[in-house]
Amino acid sequence: MPETARISRGDVALAVALAVVVSFGTVFTLRTAEGSGPDVLPVALVLIAPISLVLRRRRPFLVLAVCAVTTSTHLLLGHPPGPVLLAVAVAVYSVATLSPTTTATIAAALAAAVLLPHTVLEDSLWPGLGFALAWAAVPCSIGIAVRVTRLQQAAARRQELRRHADEERLRLAQDVHDVVGHGLAAIKMQADVALHVLSRSPEQAESALHRISGTAAEALEEVRGTLRSVREDEGSEELAPRPLAVDDLVERMAAAGLQVEATGQGLREPLPPEVRSVGHRVLREALTNALRHGADGTAHVASTRTAGQLEITVTNPCRDRPPEDPFGAAGMGLRSMQDRVRALGGEFQAGVTESEEAPERVEHASRQFRVRATIPVEEPR
């Protein structure tokens, strides 16, 4: 128990209030029991217990001892119990809330024992035993229950903080994976182009190298921005609804070797920041997969915005032997998209479909891979 705990205003107010109640209650009790005004000594004696409660958090055992001894002395002098027992109950409760259960139980039992001597003189041991145990056991039980509840709440808060920290680490890992995966895929494609044309067309190889440099710089800046977002809150500009930068993404993918046809205006309308972020991640990851695993270097993006939701569909011709389980060990990007969409209450599907659902320009492919995300959008009020 903390001896360095501060004396709070609440403890001072409690001590003063109990001192007033005890003093007036003792005067009334003595006047009723003895039929005359009380002496100064019993009133002064019973005031020691409530006043000592000012230190109930700093020295709870000392306060309990003072309360028990002064109350027992008051009773041994032949005075009726009166409200002074309230101070004993508060002291027992304080010990129970600040100490382990076993220690608090022993302290309460000792306090009850200190209250018993007057019962022996009055030849009322058994009624007095029940009386003393009641004033010690009840506040002790309440204090133990309060302490256990506080410990459970503190443990729950720590667990919740750990959960939030783990979720933040996972989110950061997914962000870095998305950024790095997209950048490396584009860099690899451009590097392959540069190697392919290096001997025949050095100017094309130089252009590809410039694109590699630009893509790497963009990826590095986005990784830095992702790491900064962990430490900084989004500014007011980021909180304003804005459309997704579809044209920039399509242009970067075209420079990497993927021709993208985009239809629909869903992504070009203003979107809340969380929807815009998830939509951007889904679109970029799906196009990166199309760039890396697609059959003919083409992809189609369709987006629709209806009341309360945004739907994004990305399709591309896939190779003859597509993965049986797109969410398997190699599907971290797809799982990342799925988690992001579901975190906003949306739906996500990814898999191989028949070619008749593909755009006309890719109907020659036997199969296509389709990513579809439906994200709820809270309309501004």
pLDDT digits (tens, 9 = 90+) for 149-188: 988 988 888 888 678 767 767 767 777 777 677 677 777 7
Last residue of a domain, which of 128, 160, 192? 160
What pLDDT is attached to residue 64?
93
C-alpha separations of 55 from 2, 61, 107, 147, 343 in Å: 11, 10, 17, 19, 50
pLDDT tens digits, residue range 178-203?
767 767 777 777 787 778 878 888 88
One-letter amino acid for residue 89 of the chain = A
Whether residue 231 lies inside any domain: the answer is no
**Cα–Cα dist 351/347, whole Å:** 14
Beta bridge partners of 305: 310
Tell me: do 276 and 364 sit in the same domain. yes
**Cα–Cα dist 211/192, whole Å:** 12
Whether residue 268 lies inside any domain: the answer is yes
pLDDT tens digits, residue range 247-294?
877 887 887 778 888 888 778 888 887 888 888 888 888 888 888 777
Whether residue 220 lies inside any domain: the answer is no
**Cα–Cα dist 60/80, whole Å:** 26
Best CA proximity match to 217, nearest among 205, 209, 229: 209
What pLDDT is attached to residue 357?
46
pLDDT tens digits, residue range 74-121?
888 777 777 778 888 999 999 999 999 999 999 999 988 888 887 766
Whether residue 34 lies inside any domain: the answer is yes
**Cα–Cα dist 120/253, whole Å:** 95
**Given pLDDT bands bounded at 50, 70 and 90, which one contains residue 235?**
very low
What pLDDT is attached to residue 236?
41
What pLDDT is attached to residue 362?
44
Last residue of a domain, which of 99, 132, 160? 160
* Residue 270: CATH number of its domain: 3.30.565.10
Determine the structural domain holding residue 117 and report its residue range: 9-160
C-alpha separations of 322 from 183, 255, 308, 370 in Å: 23, 25, 34, 12
**Cα–Cα dist 246/284, whole Å:** 10
One-letter amino acid for residue 123 of the chain = D
pTM: 0.49
Longest distance between any two alpha carbons in the chain, whole Å: 121
Residue 2 in this model has a pLDDT that exceeds 70: no
- Spacing of C-alpha 365 from chain mean position: 47
- Spacing of C-alpha 341 from chain mean position: 20
Q: Count of domains in the chain?
A: 2
Tell me: do 260 and 145 sit in the same domain. no
What pLDDT is attached to residue 358?
43
Whether residue 227 lies inside any domain: the answer is no
**Cα–Cα dist 36/68, whole Å:** 26
pLDDT tens digits, residue range 204-219?
777 778 777 777 777 7
Last residue of a domain, which of 106, 138, 160? 160
Q: Classify burial at 184, counting beta carbons within 10 Å of its beta carbon; exposed 0-12, middle 13-18, buried 19 or more.
A: middle
Beta bridge partners of 323: none
Tell me: do 26 and 137 sit in the same domain. yes
Residue 318 in this model has a pLDDT that exceeds 50: yes
